[in-house]
Chain A
Amino acid sequence: MKALLRKHRFDFPIIIAFVMFVGSSFYFHYNPGIQILKDNFWMFFKEMIIMLPLMFVLIGLFDVWIPKERIQKHIGEASGVKGMFLVMLLAFIQAGPLYVAFPVAYLLWKKGCSPLNVFIYISAFTTAKIPMITFEIGFLGLKFSLLRILITIPVFILIGIIMGRYFKRNDCKINEG
């Protein structure tokens, strides 16, 4: 309990202050406060509270069912271009905000995915999730979308290589969150 409080020493005060702020906004009919809650907070909260538990249940199942050797073989240190391709594919079919990629990254790393592929996964997740692409094409056009993705892929592979090297050289690790 104490450890939990210390870990979230910045989070709990923010949450409590926000609850008090929203509560008094309703009490005093303070419109900006009500608007922040209804228009902004609620939108993110809804997305998070439905998406994340599902995500974490999948992560938990993946954790108990998929053996480490499997992951290591396909996306581990010696997996090369095929491994890169696989993590990109995994990222592209997902949906949701960036923060859902981090627990997945932790799991992949724990199961023996190479640091290079972990960072490729994160970048790919941010660049071209298929559900988002349909949106992008609708509003900005196919030409824009295709060009952007084609230009971004080599850039994020480069970032993945740099991050992977840095990660290994400094003996970094990914935490459970």
Chain B
Amino acid sequence: MKSMMIITTALVILSFIVDRKKTIKGIKKGLKQFLKILPTILSVIIIISIVLFFVSDEILIEYLGEEAGIGAYVSAAAVGSVSLIPGFIAYPLAGILVQSGVSYSVIAVFITTLMMVGILTIPIEARYFGFKTTIIRNALSFFGAIIVGTLMAFIYYLI
């Protein structure tokens, strides 16, 4: 986050030195887009905060920690698709899951769906891509994540 602040500030200053008018126009354009999407993002993070309150770490461990089998994959994919957990929480959690006996392939499904499929962020994505395209992309990514997990199951324990 810090590096991004530095980069942005540096580029704004540089741009300002080269062309003042253009810089102001660019910043205005960007911030206008930001304000336009802000309400949608706010309402999405409100929903996510509430969902996350009900889905605690303990519940995740309980569902994903089932004895390996199709069940664990299904719940990993389902939980991963619905939640939007930032990486700095998701990875430590995944680490705990592995230690408590969850297989790496289940974790791979969880991580991949977590990142590629965003059911709760569909309202934001649909603003840009339209509803149909958004659904198709998420559905494809969901199956893609299952494929990744299956391949991980075969390869990870082979090498």
Let me know if A123 and B29 touch, CB within 8 A.
no
Grouping DSSP codes into helix (H, G, I), strand (E, B) and loop, the A interface class, with mixed when no group exceeds half, is: helix
With the chains together, A50 CA to B156 CA distance in Å? 38
Report the minimal beta-carbon distance from B153 to chain A, rounded to whole angstroms: 11
Let me know if B116 and A127 touch, CB within 8 A.
yes
With the chains together, A167 CA to B37 CA distance in Å? 23
B23 contacts across to A, CB distance below 8 A: 61, 64
B48 contacts across to A, CB distance below 8 A: 40, 44
Let me know if B86 and A97 touch, CB within 8 A.
yes
Q: A16-42: which have CB < 8 Å to B?
A: 18, 32, 35-37, 39-41
Task: Judge whether B151 is part of the interface by a CB distance below 8 angstroms.
Answer: yes
Q: B23-59: which have CB < 8 Å to A?
A: 23, 25-31, 33-34, 36-50, 52-53
Let me know if A8 and B30 touch, CB within 8 A.
no
A51 touches which of B1, B38, B107, B111 (Cβ 8 Å): B1
Interface size on A, residues (CB 8 A): 75
With the chains together, A119 CA to B117 CA distance in Å? 13
Contacts known (A8-B39, A102-B125); A57 close to B27, Cβ less than 8 A: yes
With the chains together, A144 CA to B48 CA distance in Å? 28
Let me know if B41 and A155 touch, CB within 8 A.
no
Nearest 7 pairs between A and B by C-beta? A60-B30, A40-B49, A139-B95, A56-B30, A64-B26, A41-B49, A60-B26
Query: Known contacts A63-B26, A163-B137; can you find 17 more A-B pairs with CB under 8 A?
Result: A11-B42, A47-B1, A57-B12, A63-B30, A97-B84, A98-B118, A102-B125, A102-B129, A103-B128, A136-B87, A138-B91, A144-B104, A148-B152, A152-B144, A155-B148, A175-B127, A176-B128
Please give the residue numbers on chain B whose beta carbons come within 8 Å of chain A beta carbons, in ascending order: 1, 4-5, 7-8, 11-12, 15, 22-23, 25-31, 33-34, 36-50, 52-53, 84, 86-88, 91-92, 94-95, 98, 104, 107-108, 111-112, 115-116, 118, 121, 123-125, 127-130, 133, 136-137, 140-141, 144, 147-148, 151-152, 155-156, 159
Please give the residue numbers on chain A whose beta carbons come within 8 Å of chain B beta carbons, in ascending order: 8, 10-12, 14-15, 18, 32, 35-37, 39-41, 43-45, 47-48, 50-65, 95, 97-99, 102-103, 105-106, 119, 122-123, 126-127, 131-132, 135-136, 138-140, 143-144, 147-148, 151-152, 155-156, 158-159, 162-163, 166-167, 172-177
